[in-house]
Chain A
Amino acid sequence: QLVESGGGLVQPGGSLRLSCAASGFSFNSYWMHWVRQTPGKGLVWVSRISLDGATTNYADSVKGRFTISRDNAKKMLYLQMNSLRAEDTALYYCVRDMSVLEWSYGMDVWGQGTMVTVSS
């Protein structure tokens, strides 16, 4: 199970930190992702992190502004979001990759999402 928290209303240029609590599986054995979805629109991959946190990947739209991290001892995934823009407004999902290897086969466990609204 994955449970996100930390969403809310933030002004443009502001920051927010999303958290995701994992349970029921060996968290440190899986790559993890953040995926977002604007209400009524499609899914957009945001970021991915390796088992040990040493490797991270980002979508071009968030590179340099967002930072993904994890704490395997606490079974937690994080997304630090800085310099937020109106276009970052979305429901953010914490997602488990089905693969324990670097090449992904797909995303098999999804949280329910936490909503981020960027508006003045």
Chain B
Amino acid sequence: DIQMTQSPSYVSASVGDRVTITCRASQDISNWLAWYQQKPGKAPKFLIYSASSLQSGVPSRFSGSGSGTDFTLTISSLQPEDFATYYCQKANSFPFTFGPGTKVDIK
């Protein structure tokens, strides 16, 4: 099975900062990658599909890029509501493996 890793596992940032999270797949998954945001006590929220397509209603400060094995999620200007944990996920076919998550915390 394809394994997903994320780095860093934790990032401390300030409002207005540009934040980049990396996700790596153990094999080529083309652009079959999704990103989610989860706040404490809440269900995950779907942000991005096909590595770079923004889900409807997601602010444009979020962007995704990459293909093959290396992907990034970028928040161009961090807002207070963006402090959360972010997960990448292999899409297309099962098993739909999630990355371990990256927690974005307030500096």
Which A residues are CB-close (under 8 A) to B50?
105
Query: Which of B66-74, B75-83, B94-102 lies at the binding interface?
Result: B94-102
**B49 engages A105 (CB within 8 Å):** yes
Determine the distance from Cα of A27 to Cα of B58 in the docked complex, in whole angstroms: 24
Would you give the shortest CB distance from B100 to chain A, in whole angstroms? 5
Q: How far is the CB of A57 from chain B (nearest CB, A)?
A: 4
Q: In the complex the two chains form, is A106's CB within 8 Å of B43's CB?
A: no
Number of A residues near B (Cβ < 8 Å) is 22
Choose from A93, A108, A110 the contact partner of B55 (Cβ within 8 Å): A108
- How far apart sit A113 and B44, CA to CA, in the bound complex (Å)? 10
Q: By the criterion CB–CB under 8 Å, are B97 and A45 in contact?
A: yes
Inter-chain contact B46/A107, CB cutoff 8 Å: yes
What 0/1 pattern do residues 18 to 32 of A give for CB contact below 8 A with B? 000000000000000
Q: B3 near A: Cβ within 8 Å?
A: no
Flag if B43 contacts A112 (CB, 8 Å).
Answer: yes
CB distance A113 to B43 under 8 Å?
yes
B34 touches A33 (CB 8 A): no
A111-B43 in contact given A45-B95, A103-B92, A105-B49 (Cβ < 8 Å): yes
A45 to B36, CA, bound (A): 14
Q: Say whether, besides A42-B87, A44-B98, A45-B98, A103 and B93 are in contact (CB < 8 Å).
A: yes
